A and B are shown apart, each in its own frame.
Chain A
Amino acid sequence: MKKQPAIGVETLHMTMRFGNFTALDDVSINITPGSFHALLGENGAGKSTLVKCMMGFYQPTEGQMMVQGHEVSIPDPKAAHAHGLGMVYQHFTLVPSLTAAENLVIAREDAPHRIDWKKERKALDAFMATMPFNVPLDQPVNRLAAGEKQKLELLKQLYLGRHFLILDEPTSVLTPDEATELLGMVRDLTQSGALTCLMITHKFREVTAFADEVSILRRGKHVGGGKVSDLTTDEMAALMIGDKSFARKADRSGVRGDCVLSVQNAVAPDRSGLKSIQIDDLKVAAGEVVGIAGISGNGQMELLETLTGQRPLQSGTVTVKSEPFHATRSEARNQKVRYVPEEPLHNANAPKMSVLNNLMFRNFDNKADGFGLWLNKRKMASRAADLVDAFNVKMASLESPIASLSGGNVQRATLARELSDEVDLLIISNPCFGLDFSAVADIRARIMAARNSGAAVLLISEDLDEILELSDRVLVMSEGRISYETPIETADIGVIGGHMAGHA
């Protein structure tokens, strides 16, 4: 890495309006050179808008940008890069079919016209040797798991030698150890004066443990901030949330019932087709949450796909309430199995169809439910309106495309649909990935409520905190197998972490 001094960036009275809507309102933030600055705020508070203005994706309606004390204009991201500003996005910007090495090289401004791979590989290997973690360079990016992609995104910015880095929730896909390692490395870089970092986050732990300064946005306004050492977590939370009440985490109640889901000796090929996953014995009983922890890419996605019928089993059986289960629509309906896969916008919804239609996917043709051959628009609308109210989904109208909703509201809408009827088995994967504070609390409370009313819940999550908060039993998946199991009472983070890392 080049040891150039870190860059200081300042926004002055930045305002951004989209039509009548003011996304950013007179925000002035000073990020001093070599600092690790956290940007806190709920979804929709204007954090993304602010950094997009800084990176040149949007032109602010009013206000200026200062880099190193000089006013600059940033008409496009290229100009931002030229000033040494870089960003790791929440949505991956890697090119899926290119290998990691190709992604790194093509991202360089000075990428040579003819690429001498031998030379480039040598340089890349030397660069990787200075990094605290590794990513396989010869794999196409679409074969990498989410966690590895996030690491590669970060590596890319460092490889490009950027001196002011915006990180958009960088640790949401990392294990606690990886997150600590990654942020520790970023902090070391800031302290050595090589880098200034602005991190968007929801996690207070990361702010207090790593950041020097913090700025808090609420509804587009800069409502406070300062040195992290001068603020308590409660003060920061109060500034971030304002006066609003949360859905409280439901208490555990009810008794564990009979076994609902049983997976026996199941073998299925994994995504690459080279390895396989093998689940010898997985049981989930009514009224319990079984959490499957694991670093992404250890077969959780494949497990979910075998349960949802998207991936055929080579051998073994999946039964629900002692009946064989192949995840057909009628089986799912009769045996009351519901799913919330990760990234529900794309995996559980039709993004461009209306919220109304998406909410009614489970029911619109269900005779038992009073629907017939023809779509009953009026009944669908009243049903959907009830669900929206019950689950507190915020949107412009029931007719707006579900893709226009924020992540938290898409997840609420998906849960509303999946939990609308009686549910005996709920299979859920990374339900809170990328959601803000209050949405997370809300979603988790819904899951607990389903458990307490007698549903068997299989929770696959890369967020260990989530697993520990919700589960009655914790399983760890590593290299396609379930390598560890413990009741929550005896769960130990160190032991679980060891099994997640594959050495214990």
Chain B
Amino acid sequence: MSESDIGLWAVPIAMLGGAIRVSTPFIFVSLGECITERSGRINLGLEGTLVFGAMSGYAIAYETSSAWLGVLGAAFFGALFGLFHGWICKLPKVNDIAIGIALMLLGMGLAFFFGKPYIQPVAPDLPALSFGFWSDVPQVQAALQVNVLFILGLVLAVAIAWMFKSTKIGLTIRVVGDSSDAARALGISANKVRLFSTAAGGALAGVGGAYLSLYYPGSWNEGISSGQGLMAVALVIFARWNPINCIWAALLFGAAGALGPALQSVGVSSGYYLFYAAPYVLTLLLLIATSSTTRALNGAPGELSISK
């Protein structure tokens, strides 16, 4: 028995690695969406922001030879998209969901347009830390190659949870998200808070996109996103608008997403495409299992256009 032959253990290990690798963009986009939705807006345009972030991050990293500058650039452009969304939505009689869909298509279109020249060149990758040094098994070592952004995402989730609970900014966002009337009574400008919350959400989605093009899969092409931006919106609902839960939800999603490739690697090839649908099936099942007709949807911001 060779060292790399670990039989069926390969499946959970690959899923662990997959969870960490695949979940990172989910973490960033869902944390961003979490901030935006807590302020009472839904930004469905994050899919477009993510793709544009992937493109701009890759392009900037290539031009400057610095992956981190790429990440910053992606965050900057993401924030611009967020500001744009927030600015349009404060106009009267504008629906945030419709604007989100328009911006999603706009973001993707712009990314494909500006991104054409960057499909060939190779940009520097983001660094990863090896937490698998204690093991001789290459699969374990591969699984525990953890990107710095993943760790940053974990820290960010804790920071955002703390912000919502113990800072004035966090409470202000929750006030605005829960009741415009109450916000007005407190003298808070709801539009301004939502504008910046949407901008912050966009910036985080941009970082999520940069992760895609700069680390995993690690190149820029037009099919780089498989709907992470949209799935993150569902993730936030599933996580009940709680940043810490967003992490667990993203990890679960990542692990379920890695199920297909992991099974394939140990030779299970039938029903291959079905396993790729695992995250979506899982989401549906969990949402049904945790729903209730008699209890209110805990944590849903009252001003959200879907809960009104």
Given known pairs A91-B181, A93-B185, A312-B293, the reply for A113 and B175 (CB within 8 Å) is no
Would you call B174 an interface residue if the criterion is a C-beta within 8 Å of the partner chain's C-beta atoms? yes
| Count of interface residues, chain B, beta-carbon cutoff 8 Å | 25
Count of residues in A whose CB is under 8 Å from the partner chain: 29
Residue of B nearest to A305 (CB): B294
Q: How far, in angstroms, from A142 to B300 measured CA to CA in the complex?
A: 12
Roughly how many angstroms separate A81 CA and B187 CA in the complex, as a whole number?
A: 10
B167 touching A89, Cβ below 8 Å: no
* Residue ID in chain A nearest B166 by CB atoms: A115
Proximity string of chain A (158-177) to chain B, C-beta cutoff 8 Å, 1 when within and 0 when not = 00000000000000000000
What are the residues of chain A within 8 A of B178 when measuring CB–CB?
A: 95-98
A111 near B187 with CB under 8 A, answer no
Q: How far is the CB of B88 from chain A (nearest CB, A)?
A: 24
Interface residues of A in 53-108 (CB under 8 A from B): 76-78, 81, 89, 91, 93-98, 102, 105-107
With A107-B186, A273-B295 known as contacts, the answer to whether A98 contacts B166 (CB < 8 A) is: no
7 smallest A-B Cβ distances: which pairs? A78-B187, A93-B185, A106-B171, A95-B182, A115-B166, A95-B178, A113-B168
CB contact under 8 A between A311 and B294, given known A113-B168, A115-B171? yes
How many Å from the CB of A94 to the closest CB on chain B? 6
- Kindly state the separation between the CA atoms of A269 and B181 in the bound complex, as whole angstroms: 31
CA gap between A98 and B164 in the complex, in Å: 10
Residues in chain A near residue B294, CB distance under 8 A = 269, 273, 311-312
A-chain residues with CB within 8 Å of residue B147 when the two chains form the complex:
none
- Per the 8 Å Cβ criterion, residues 331-361 of A in contact with B are none
Given contacts A105-B171, A111-B171, contact A93 B182 (CB under 8 A): yes
Residue ranges of A at the interface with B (Cβ–Cβ < 8 Å) = 76-78, 81, 89, 91, 93-98, 102, 105-107, 111-117, 142, 269, 271, 273, 311-312
Indicate if the CB atoms of A95 and B168 lie closer than 8 Å: no
Contact yes or no, A98 B302, CB < 8 A: no
A107 to B168 CA separation, bound complex (whole angstroms): 10
CB–CB B174/A115 < 8 A: no
A106 touches B186 (CB 8 A): yes
Chain B residue contacts of A97, Cβ below 8 A: 174, 178, 299, 301-302
Across the interface, which residues of A come within 8 angstroms of B184, CB to CB?
77
Contacts of B292 on A, CB cut-off 8 Å? Answer: 273
Question: In this complex, what residue of A is CB-closest to B174?
Answer: A98
Q: Does B287 contact A (CB under 8 A)?
A: no
- Flag whether B141 is at the interface (Cβ < 8 A): no
User: A105 — which chain B residues lie within 8 A by C-beta?
Assistant: 171
Residues of chain B in range 259-277 having any CB-CB distance to chain A below 8 Å: none
A361 shortest CB reach to chain B, Å: 21
Find residues 93-132 in chain B having any chain A CB closer than 8 Å to their own CB.
Answer: none
Q: Judging by beta carbons under 8 Å apart, are B171 and A98 in contact? A: yes
Chain B hits for A96, CB < 8 A = 178-179, 302
CB contact between B166 and one of A95, A117, A273, A312 (< 8 Å): that residue: A117
Closest-CB distance, A197 to chain B (whole angstroms): 19
